[in-house]
Amino acid sequence: MSPDPRRTIPSTDRLLALDQVAAASKRLAPQMIRRIITTVQESARAGDIAPTEVTEQVIAAVEQASPTRLSSVLNATGVIIHTNLGRAPLSDAARDALITAAGYVDLELDLRDGKRSKRGTWAKAALLAAAPDAEDALVVNNGAAALSLATTALSVRADRPEVVISRGELVEIGAGFRLPDLITSTGVQLREVGATNRTNLDDYRDAITERTGGILKVHPSNYWIGGFNSDVETKQLAELAREHDVPLIVDVGSGLFERDPALPNEPTIGEALRAGADVVIASGDKLLGGPQAGLLLGTREVISGLATHPLARAFRADKFTLAALEATLNAPSTPVRDALHIDPDELHRRSVRIAEAVGAEVVAHDGRVGGGGGAGVPLPGWAISLDEALAKPLRTGSPAILPRVTDGRCLLDLRCVPVEADAVILQRLQELLEEDA
């Protein structure tokens, strides 16, 4: 009987002693290297590869391995705030700030006197400069945390646990996550008023009792209601809230400070504050174009109360969020803003240059804001139309290129692709088309 070839599979110790594996240990943890070796050995034991291939495959695997499994992606879908791609891409200024924050920084220290200072001072200053109608601001780790903190801290108190909200604003966001479930998870009770499509001021007025701890207005940013519908303006709700001495919480969602001509119907932080909201909530990683964060801006009395609530500690933003947020606010622009206002003619010229080089067609294509902002608002543009079969090799290459697949076609919309990456896309397309030739 011939000997079992699996007996010749190199041992773990022998593979660990390879020069290439030893070199990789300077950037990869020991357990990761052992996991790579074990995986290759098991492939040999299963007969998927020959024992003689083990050493070569281990060397190739450790040289290609990275401490993170995240892959850089070129977003060619035309969706600016793409939730599956991490929402907003950060500006160069914000990326630099993250690198600075990776070391020791004066997060809670005044370098002038060497004493402890308040956390996030500079991020708060940048927020208040962007929203001069706010008296104070607070940053937490995401928009859901901001909403939970505001509703809990302002309403869960002695005999006033209810928050009044329109039925048309009981929003479900991605992955089946529902804001009503979030709000009530801390003991808040929702008093739903009106109908799905129509809510008026009297609906709110009739619902206010001695148990009312606040009024909540939520922008349904990922859908819209047309036809026979109506809602109540923030200014009217603010007057009603003052009349009954209850706070008004307004969640505008997408983080737009002031009106943008590209999104004329998107509510803004500034407008809500000027209309009389006591606290306005927004996300940092949507139209603001910054890191994931929950922003709370409003009156000094309300924000200071939120900042001292126990949940504020649980929802506290880390140094990376604060650094990137400050830099985002202080930089001249962001990739989100640039993509939203890209010149359609330049977008067309870029698309044509690539399309002509590979014999493809350029077609009209509407981009989208995405991420729960600008719902239903088309962003006129262009896309390179290719065979659907190219979608998978584009996604699985390096860097990954994510197109939009629709109606049997693979569409490459360059709206969110940096200009300097056009050459990368062209090269990849030429390589793929040559392979098919």
pLDDT for 267 equals: 94
Check whether 255 has a pLDDT greater than 60: yes
Give me the CATH code for the 91-332 domain, please. Answer: 3.40.640.10
**Residue 157 pLDDT class (50, 70, 90 cuts):** low
* Tens digits of residue pLDDT in 38-88: 999 999 999 999 999 999 999 999 999 999 999 999 999 999 999 999 999
User: What's the whole-model pTM score?
Assistant: 0.93
Which residues pair with residue 279 across a beta bridge?
249, 298
Q: How far apart are the first and last CA of the chain?
A: 48
* Tens digits of residue pLDDT in 382-410: 999 999 999 999 999 999 999 999 999 99
Mean pLDDT of 288-312: 96
pLDDT for 434 equals: 87
* Tens digits of residue pLDDT in 364-376: 999 999 987 888 8
Q: Which of 331, 255, 324 is nearest to 296 (CA)?
A: 255
Q: Beta 212-218 vs 379-387: how paired, if at all?
A: unpaired
Name the average pLDDT for the chain.
94
Is 40 within 8 Å of 58 (Cβ atoms)? yes
Helix pair 143-155, 300-307: axis angle to 10 deg: 100
Mean pLDDT of 3-7: 77
Phi, psi of 243 (to 5 degrees): -60, -35
Phi, psi of 329 (to 5 degrees): -70, -30
* 73-83+338-436 under CATH 3.90.1150.180, yes or no: yes
* Tens digits of residue pLDDT in 258-279: 999 999 889 999 999 999 999 9
Mean pLDDT of 253-257: 91
Torsion of CA 369, 370, 376, 379, to 10 degrees: 30
What would the two tokens of residue 85 be? 């791609």
Check whether 2 has a pLDDT greater than 70: no
pLDDT for 290 equals: 97
d(C-alpha 340, C-alpha 351), whole Å: 17
Phi, psi of 173 (to 5 degrees): -100, -155
Q: Where are the domains of the chain?
A: 5-64, 73-83+338-436, 91-332
pLDDT for 437 equals: 62
Angle 102-103-107 (CA atoms, 0-180°, nearest 5)?
A: 90
Mean pLDDT of 201-222: 94
Q: Where are the alpha helices (DSSP H) in 17-114?
A: 19-24, 30-45, 54-64, 92-101
* Tens digits of residue pLDDT in 78-131: 999 999 999 999 999 999 999 999 999 999 999 999 999 999 999 999 999 999
Same fold, 73-83+338-436 and 91-332: no
